[in-house]
Amino acid sequence: MRVGIDVYPVLSALDKEKLAASGRAESDVPSLGKSRKAATLAVGETALSRVLNSSPIMVVPPLVLVRLQRTNWLRSNPRLTLPVNLGLILGMSYIALPLALAAFPQRQRISAESLEEEFHGRGGEGGMVVFNRGI
């Protein structure tokens, strides 16, 4: 966050065609610079996605396990408590992780005007810039 994150202009369809015709890819477009505001946004979104990932895993399995412990099946088989608990955690992880990762896009678009002054007026299509938030 102190150094910033690379920011790139959003390319129009015409710009993408020109790049493809010259044998280059979107990743070959030079960075407009490093933005601390974009980095702060990226870190905040990543932290929120971590909370979205862990919260269901910490809440749902214990609630389900308490209900299951009241059943005759788990009372008569107390050795199954740990495997059932681990299974619930694994199952909830399979559900929560994809949803948490999909909450925010990896490549985030933002208006160049909402970043530092050095990026004002330098955005690509629609005055937008893009940065890689990471996962």
Q: How far apart are CA 27 and CA 84, in angstroms?
A: 46
Range of the domain at 72: 5-132
Burial code (b: 16+ CB inside 10 Å, e: under 16) for 9-45 equals bbbeeeeeeebeeeeeeeeebeebbebebbbebbeeb
Q: How far apart are CA 63 and CA 83, in angstroms?
A: 16
**pLDDT (0 to 100) of residue 83:** 95
* pLDDT mean over 53-69: 94
State the chain's mean pLDDT as an integer.
90
**pLDDT (0 to 100) of residue 124:** 85
The predicted model scores a pTM of 0.77
* Beta bridge pairs of residue 127: none
Do residues 131 and 108 touch, judged by C-beta distance below 8 A?
yes
Q: In the chain, how many domains are there? A: 1
